[in-house]
Chains A and B, each alone.
Chain A
Amino acid sequence: MIAPPPSGPVPCARETALSLLDDMLRIRRMEEKCAELYGAGKIRGFLHLYIGEEAVATGAIHALEAEDNVVATYREHAHALLCGVGMDAIMAEMYGKREGCSRGRGGSMHLFDARARLYGGNAIVGGGLPLATGLALADRMQGIARVNACFFGEGAMAEGAFHEAVNLAALWQLPVLFCCENNLYAMGTALARSEAQTDLCAKAASYRLPTLSVDGMDVVAVHEGTCEAAAHVRAGKGPFFVEFRTYRFRAHSMFDAELYRDKREVEAWKTRGPIHTFSARLKQQGMLTEEQFLALDRGAGEEVARAVAFAEAGTWEPVEDLARDVHTPVVMP
């Protein structure tokens, strides 16, 4: 059963609401362009699109502060963008260019930015969970009050890494915000085909940490839920687990024929699409006109065009630098 689309008054200031909408549009237009560039052979390797899930990264990262750390998965273009990595550096990274945010070494799945406090871009399912727990341990030991937000899919909850990391974080009361993006499919495996316990909050709660499940198609619900969870973590009360119930509109990657789900299911979920439902609510409330929507959309499109031009103009790292950054250069005495 698919819930009805998010509806009703948007309980936040107009400025906040428009900023949320704008960011969802930026993500959507960037990724639509990525799909096109993949078809054109400009982007290679694996490309995992977030289309349909924009409300999750947008609402959640808007609830974080600039000093917070973010650990994400291989479906992380949106997280990178909203953490403050420039769209131009993201696009250049997908091209494999030296001007990319990981110097072209990572590609779509490995976006990193020390300044934006983005610790990847981890393409091992569950791999980011112990890492985020360790970042939180470092903060605790150094007396730094910061939220360490770790994004992962529901598929990661079948990994031992999830259980080990959540247990450590809860046992040691570490400042980790566990953000589960439940899009119902671990690649092609439906939740009920991979988990004996499909109530993900119940599963997490066995480690004695507070949990919350929110509608991941409703950007305001995501924002509010994450604010509550982040406040708990920031106050030093230990980790928090949030499930964002969402849905991926596109294929898992560019190689996926989507044999595992019914097209009607995808169409039904599209009625809950985070961008059109949110803009409809804003219009209904008089917070947004069609002209304003089109202006935001145009702005996003222009940013994408600039990012593509930047990536196109980027340079290839010389082959002589192949072994660069395997080790940190050390000045020998």
Chain B
Amino acid sequence: MTRMSYREAMREAIRAAMREDARVFLMGEDVGRYGGTYAVSKGLLEEFGPERVRDAPLSELGFVGAGVGAALGGMRPIVEVMTVNFSLLALDQIVNSAATLRHMSGGQFSVPLVVRMATGAGRQLAAQHSHSLEGWYAHVPGLTVLAPATVADARGMLAAALADPDPVIVFEHVQLYNTEGDVAEGPVDIRRAAVRRAGTQVSLVTYGGSLPKTLEAAAMLAREGIDAEVVDLRVLRPLDLPTVLASVRKTRRAVVVDEAWKTGSLAAEIVARIAEEAFYDLDAAPARVCSEEVPIPYPKHLEDAALPQAEKIVAAARALFGKP
């Protein structure tokens, strides 16, 4: 076990992958000389050189598409997109090419591409750098979507993503980069959700940057005498429903915490699945804590008000017990 930050864990994961496999390379805006927008790739240029730590121009569609082509051509590209908001410029290549090529070619062409991007709010970066659009990608068959919420997953998920023969999108919440935790060597599984806190009375289901807030809420609920279980989805597509349903069937209550907007969200999908599969196991209607339906605003008090917070999660959980 080694203690490190989420940022360092991600960097170590990239470094290890590049040392191990000559086909792996990192490409994106300012990944080289600048050291990465969030300093994830700092120092990698010096170790691996400009061919494998490849600074790309501001051409999200172009370099993500080049990543798709390079993956088809036998390489194992890791493409970094600065934020999920910018990834919209590359959406065509991800959705229309990376996700479809294998099926559309009758199984002849797999696209072993990994796209990493920052996501989420909390840094007062306003409405073009702060959104949570993980659910959009999780909507698309052909993609695997990961949301490492812990330092251990930040260290372990990349190797599993690179081993996947098909495209994998990795979301790194900006509020997680400075968090610290313990990591073990080797890859982790990218098929299962994880119970981060065992409990018996309510399931708090979340992912990514909302995990720390949800764990905080669970601690607050414990002080009120409510024993909450926290499920970290980890993998947003394909969803590990058995783990979610097992938790909900045990606790009989569910609150889904999702930093995306409520309308058409991943939270909506999970609540729908719970309703479809575990309706008669519930003691209360499932609840959701999501972002308010506004573009994320700049001033701190408004940004805080727009996002899920531990207090909101506590209130939503408490309400399931008929408590004010």
| A104 in the interface (beta carbon within 8 A) | yes
Q: A105-B103, A120-B104, A167-B62 are in contact. Are A141 and B70 (CB under 8 A)?
A: yes
Is A138 an interface residue when CB atoms closer than 8 A count as contact? yes
B101 part of interface (Cβ distance < 8 Å): yes
Provide the residues of chain B in CB contact with A114, threshold 8 Å: 105, 108-109
| Complex Cα–Cα for A161 and B93 (A) | 10
Inter-chain contacts of B188 with A (CB < 8 A): none
| Known A134-B71, A135-B72, A137-B69; contact A102-B105, beta-carbon cutoff 8 A | yes
Q: Which residues in A have their C-beta under 8 angstroms from that of B104?
A: 102, 105-106, 110, 112, 120-121
| Interface bits A128-167 vs B (CB < 8 Å: 1, else 0) | 0111111111110110000000000000000011001101
Contacts of B108 in A (CB 8 A): 102, 112-114
**Residues of the B chain whose Cβ atoms lie less than 8 Å from the Cβ of A327:** 102, 142, 144, 165-166
Please, which residues of chain B bring their CB within 8 A of the CB of A105? 103-106
In the complex, the chain A residue whose C-beta lies closest to that of B101 is A120
Min CB gap B146→A, angstroms: 15
Which of B51-59, B219-227, B271-279 is the interface stretch?
A: B51-59
A130 shortest CB reach to chain B, Å: 2
**Which residues B59-74 have CB closer than 8 A to chain A?**
59, 61-74
Q: Which of B63, B105, B164 has the most CB of A within 10 A?
A: B105
Residues on the A chain within 8 Å of B70, using CB:
134-135, 137-138, 141
Main secondary structure of the interface of A (DSSP, over half): mixed
CB <8 Å contact, A102 and B96: no
A124 is an interface residue with CB less than 8 A from chain B: yes
**In the assembled complex, which residues on chain B have CB atoms less than 8 Å from the CB atom of A328?**
102, 107, 110, 165-166
Instruction: Give the residues in chain B near A133, CB-CB below 8 Å.
Output: 62, 65-66, 69
Instruction: Enumerate chain A residues within 8 angstroms of B57, measured Cβ to Cβ.
Output: 164, 167-168, 171
Neighbouring A residues of B63 by C-beta, 8 Å = 130, 164, 168
Q: A105-B106, A131-B69, A133-B69 are in contact. Are A141 and B62 (CB under 8 A)?
A: no
Instruction: Select one of A113, A127, A135, A171 contacting B73, CB under 8 A.
Output: A135
Kindly state whether residue B175 has any CB partner on chain A within 8 Å.
Answer: no
Q: Is B75 an interface residue (CB 8 A)?
A: yes
- A residues near B106, Cβ cutoff 8 Å: 100-106, 112, 325
In B9-43, the 8 Å CB interface with A consists of 25
Distance in angstroms between the alpha carbons of A171 and B58 in the assembled complex:
13
Per-residue CB contact flags for chain B residues 259-289 toward chain A (1 = under 8 Å, else 0) read 0000000000000000000000000000000
A113-B109 Cα distance, complex, nearest whole Å: 9
Please report the C-alpha to C-alpha distance between residue A13 and residue B26 in the assembled complex, in whole angstroms: 48
A95 interfacial contact with B, CB 8 Å:
no
Is B92 close to A, CB under 8 A? yes
Is the CB of A246 closer than 8 A to any CB of chain B? no
**B107 partner, pick from A103, A164, A171, beta carbons under 8 A:** A103
B243 within 8 A of A: no
Interface residues on B, range: 35 or more
- Is B97's beta carbon under 8 Å from chain A? yes
Query: Is B73's CB under 8 angstroms from A326's CB?
Result: no
Judge whether A164 and B62 touch: CB under 8 Å: yes
CB atoms of B166 and A161 under 8 A apart: no
Contacts of B67 on A, CB cut-off 8 Å? 134
CB distance from B244 to the nearest CB of A (A): 21
Chain A positions 1-19 with a Cβ under 8 Å from a chain B Cβ: none
B89-129 to A contact mask, C-beta < 8 Å, 1/0: 00011001100011111111110000000000000000000
A183 is an interface residue with CB less than 8 A from chain B = no
CA distance A287 to B104 in the complex (A): 43
Q: CA–CA, A105 to B142, complex, Å?
A: 14
Q: Write the chain A residue with the least CB distance to B142.
A: A326
Cβ contact of B105, chosen from A112, A134, A138, A160, cutoff 8 A: A112
Question: B105 contacts which chain A residues (CB < 8 A)?
Answer: 102-103, 105-106, 110, 112, 114, 120-121, 325
A264 interface residue (CB < 8 Å to B): no
The one of B72, B74, B103, B110 that contacts A119, using a Cβ cutoff of 8 Å: B72
A325 to B101, CA, bound (A): 9
Complex Cα–Cα for A168 and B56 (A): 8
A130-B62 CB under 8 A given contacts A112-B108, A326-B141: yes
Residue contact B65 to A124, C-beta cutoff 8 Å: no
B108 to chain A, nearest CB (A): 4
CB-defined contacts of A324 to chain B, threshold 8 Å: 107
Distance between Cα atoms of A167 and B109 in the complex (Å): 26
- Contacting pair B59 A135 (CB below 8 A): no
Return chain A residues, CB-CB under 8 Å to B109: 112, 114, 119
* Residues of chain A from 162 to 199 with CB closer than 8 A to chain B in the complex: 164-165, 167-168, 171
Inter-chain CA distance A132–B62, complex, in Å, is: 10
Chain B residue with the shortest CB-CB distance to A174: B66
Cβ of B103 and Cβ of A138 under 8 Å apart? no
Cα-based distance from A136 to B75 in the complex (angstroms)? 11
Question: Are B65 and A130 in contact (CB-based, < 8 A)?
Answer: yes
Is A122's CB within 8 Å of the partner chain B?
yes
Since A114-B105, A134-B65, A167-B57 are in contact, a sample of 15 more A-B pairs with Cβ atoms closer than 8 Å, ordered by chain A residue number, is A105-B103, A112-B106, A112-B108, A119-B72, A130-B93, A131-B69, A132-B69, A133-B65, A134-B77, A135-B73, A137-B70, A164-B65, A165-B62, A168-B62, A171-B57
Chain B contacts to A: CB under 8 angstroms: 25, 51, 56-57, 59, 61-75, 77, 92-93, 96-97, 101-110, 141-142, 144, 164-166
The 5 closest A-B pairs by CB, nearest first: A134-B69, A130-B65, A138-B73, A103-B106, A164-B62
5 A-B residue pairs with Cβ-Cβ distance under 8 Å, sorted by A, are: A69-B73, A100-B106, A112-B109, A120-B104, A131-B66
